[in-house]
A and B are shown apart, each in its own frame.
Chain A
Amino acid sequence: MDSLMQLFYDEANEMVEGMEQVLLALESSEPDPETVNALFRYAHSFKGNSAAMGFTHLSKFTHGLESAMETLRKEQRTLTPALATLLLQAVDVIRTLLERTRTEGDVGDPACETLLQQINAVINGETPQPIDAPSAPASAKPAECAAAHGTPQYRIFYQPAPTLSAEHNPLQLLSELQEYGQVLQCRFREQIPPLEQLKIDACYGTWEILYETAFEPAIVRALLELAAEGAETRIEPVSAPSAEATQQTPTRTAEEATPLSSTVSASGETPVTATVSVASRGEAQSIRVSTEKIDALMNLVSEIVIAQSMLSSAQNANTDERTRAAITQMERHVRDLHERVMAIRLLPVSYLFNRFPRMVRDTAAKLGKKVNLEVEGEETELDRTLLEALSDPLTHLIRNAIDHGIEPPDERRQNGKPETGTIKLSAYQSEGRIYIEVRDDGRGIDTKRVREKAIQLGWITEHDHPSEEALYDFLFQPGFSTAQQVSDLSGRGVGMDVVKRNVESLGGSISVQSKRGEGTRFLLRVPLTLAIMDGLGLTVADEHYIVPLTAVVEAFQHESLQHTALFDQYEMVNVRGEFIPLVRLRQFVGLPEADQEGLIVVLEQEGEQIALMVDGIAGQQQVVLKSLEENFVRVLGFAGATILGDGRVALILDVSDLIRRGRQSAERYAAVA
């Protein structure tokens, strides 16, 4: 793709995202003329750019939208929920068409005209809400819009969840559609690679279906999205069943059929900008760089860090003063280079958080709930790879909060709460880590039910009374769900374990706090970056280990009087009157005890401390993290590995895991004491 075209797509995607953000902002606050103007400007610029690139269908559709927005702007019409829904659908259509242009060129969609008619009709107050109103809860009743034209028809764009399993079979889900209506026309778009590149559990197909049903679209969506997380279903009403459509039979081939649009992105990775551009193009002081280039640069910097570390450790007593000075200078420059490249990779979390207002809106509407999403700390920056990896866990947590946490409006009213529930999504940086919090003011976790469920599953007995924290831990076990009904959103007992696994695979952790009737708070902690960190080298016998420097509190020579042991097993160290659990690194890695006492290194994470006994300290150094999981398997107690300056491999200790082990000592000690 030439650079001009790439620039067009980069800008177009930003405009589409901008339109969506503005619509969501308009819906949730008092109409502000400047915000309406911003919406108009996005549509206007998008139209012009599309026309310039020869995408006449896109340009024509956006022109229609621009005219509708002009009416909205000039006549100061209110953005009703129905109109917001239609305009958001229009944004979806633009997004889909935009992706299709990558492979199909100047492509249109018959749905555009219908959608524009509906938008204009609603703006002019000519017809009632033509589609499922966002406040309507899902119920298995015939849709009201059936009356005028017989059974309503819908255009369904279905992209199954990306992973296939025994339970997730898109063909089976599609066949269930036939029990609720009639498939009039279906187009299957396969993107299946040759066998050599095929992943057996990856799903490569999408479907576009002309479907006739007397049931609510929410039922159709639930059917298609029930089996697995991550499916994308878009259902657009077709205003009246056309004679052509009803006469078409499924026997038509893809080539003969009226072209239907697709929700699939044909090309691979969507480029992201290296810097965040601002809405006004004139103010932007940035250039666009592909992520591949940044990743290549980052890898190169990682190698330079290793080479520089090798050079530093090659110094000895015979190294002359000039060489020493040059090495010191180089160390400084490499550190600076690393920080600057890291900064390029960092993106504000708004890049991720911006996806959620729409999801919250749609999910809440689907469940008949009222939810307000508050976002805080959007400017907090995080490595792009981490941001992308956090998308699924956060999506799951937010969906869970809406589905299980926030109560329906009448229940909230009865409990003296405002009808509209609040989910607060916030991000902040502290102690070299990023914290992301998902907090809701819903009903909270019912620990009594969690305990009952754990007994039912045979995980504990009737006589066991685990602590609140231990009960919350059950939530993250595979197969655990207290949801009384399985919904298409959550409650299937899959998900929270995956959330935990995903966060831990990023070197992070997750914890939960909850108060019955008041809400729940999930706290995710992740490192700033996965690539390079400042570490402290520790030695036992001839082996080197690394701990993150941010976790190190202090180090001192161990004296036998300072420590006390319980059953010769659970040891604590007295540090200025405070007892800290002790872990002997030799014991931890399976080496025999040393003849003489070693050093104690106190490590801290999230307010908890652990004393680690080691033979010696090898000094501070920058290390490049290499994943054990990617190259070997996940090993408990170790967060990864690195290559030292002398070429040897050192394992990086997982401080969270050490603290977890230390906590057992502390609990045992406290129980006996």
Chain B
Amino acid sequence: MQVSLKTTAKKHKVTLNGEIGFAETTALYETAQQIVQNPKETQIDWSNLTAIHYAGVQVLFALRKSLEERGYRMLFTEPNPQLYQHLHTFGVWDALIQS
């Protein structure tokens, strides 16, 4: 399963595995909606994620914005080096992590 959500009293943890193509973005979007309905600090574990469609990236951006509006942080684990390089080269990493 590419997208899974674990929730504790203090935070959510979303684990992303393998490849998130356009088809899998819906699952990620639904997970994000669940989080926004019950907002908490959220960790995105994408250490085992090898590729992500831009639609999925947009969901992560949107989730971060919704959480921040509610006063919660979104944190990311270190990504797979290839994925990092890919996102970094095209400016997406910087925008997602640092802004």
Contact = CB atoms under 8 A, between A and B. Distances in A.
Q: Is the interface of B mostly helix, strand, loop or mixed?
A: helix
Given A196-B36, A200-B25, 6 more contacts: A166-B22, A171-B90, A175-B89, A195-B66, A198-B59, A200-B26
A620 to B, nearest CB: 49
Contact of B91 (A160, A169, A193, A207): A207
A183 B89 contact: yes
Contacts of B38: none
Q: Which 7 A-B pairs have the closest CB atoms?
A: A188-B91, A192-B61, A198-B62, A166-B22, A195-B66, A195-B62, A194-B66
B58 A205 contact: yes
Contacts of A192: 58, 61-62, 65
A174 B89 CA distance: 9
B11 to A, nearest CB: 17
Interface string B38-63: 00000000000000111101110111
13 contacts: A164-B22, A166-B22, A169-B54, A171-B90, A172-B54, A188-B91, A190-B61, A192-B58, A194-B66, A195-B65, A200-B58, A203-B58, A254-B99
Nearest to A201: B55
A224 to B, nearest CB: 12
Interface string B60-99: 0111011001000000000000000011111110110011
B59 A171 contact: no
Contacts of B1: none
Nearest to A202: B58
A207 B90 contact: yes
Given A253-B98, A254-B91, A200 B29 contact: yes
Nearest to B97: A253
Nearest to B93: A188
A38 to B, nearest CB: 41
B32 interface: yes
Nearest to A256: B94
Nearest to B26: A200
Interface in A154-180: 160, 164-166, 169-172, 174-175, 178
A299 to B, nearest CB: 31
B53 A253 contact: no
B21 interface: yes
Q: Looking at chain B, what size class is its interface with the partner chain?
A: 20 to 34
A73 interface: no
Interface string A416-430: 000000000000000
A29 interface: no
A160 B58 CA distance: 14
Contact of B63 (A166, A172, A195, A197): A195
B7 interface: no
B94 A253 contact: yes
B90 A195 contact: no
Contacts of B53: 164, 166, 169, 171-172
B13 to A, nearest CB: 18
Contacts of B61: 190, 192
Interface of A: 160, 164-166, 169-172, 174-175, 178, 183, 186-188, 190, 192-198, 200-201, 203-205, 207, 250-251, 253-254
Nearest to A199: B58
B23 interface: yes
Most buried by A among B23, B26, B69, B90: B90
A239 to B, nearest CB: 24
A175 B62 CA distance: 23
B4 interface: no
A204 B32 CA distance: 18
B26 A250 contact: no
B45 to A, nearest CB: 19
Interface in B7-40: 21-23, 25-26, 29, 32-33, 36
Contacts of A200: 25-26, 29, 55, 58-59
Contacts of A190: 61, 92, 95
A165 B53 CA distance: 9
Contacts of B62: 192-195, 197-198
Given A200-B26, A203-B54, A195 B91 contact: no
Contacts of B32: 195
Contact of A171 (B33, B86, B98): B86
A183 B23 CA distance: 29
A39 to B, nearest CB: 37
A197 B95 CA distance: 19
**Interface core residue of A169, A195, A197 (most chain B CB under 10 Å):** A195
Contacts of B95: 188, 190, 254
A250 B89 contact: yes
A188 B92 contact: yes
Nearest to B35: A195
Contacts of A193: 62, 65
Contacts of B98: 253
Contacts of A172: 53-54
Contacts of B92: 171, 188, 190, 205
A188 B65 CA distance: 17
B49 to A, nearest CB: 13
Given A171-B92, A253-B94, A254-B94, A198 B58 contact: yes
Contacts of A195: 29, 32-33, 36, 59, 62-63, 65-66
Nearest to B30: A200
A204 B59 CA distance: 11
B36 to A, nearest CB: 5
Contact of A164 (B54, B66, B87, B91): B54
B98 to A, nearest CB: 6
A562 B68 CA distance: 74
A621 B24 CA distance: 51
Contacts of A253: 94, 98
Nearest to B94: A253
Contacts of A183: 89-90
Contacts of B29: 195, 198, 200
B90 A188 contact: yes
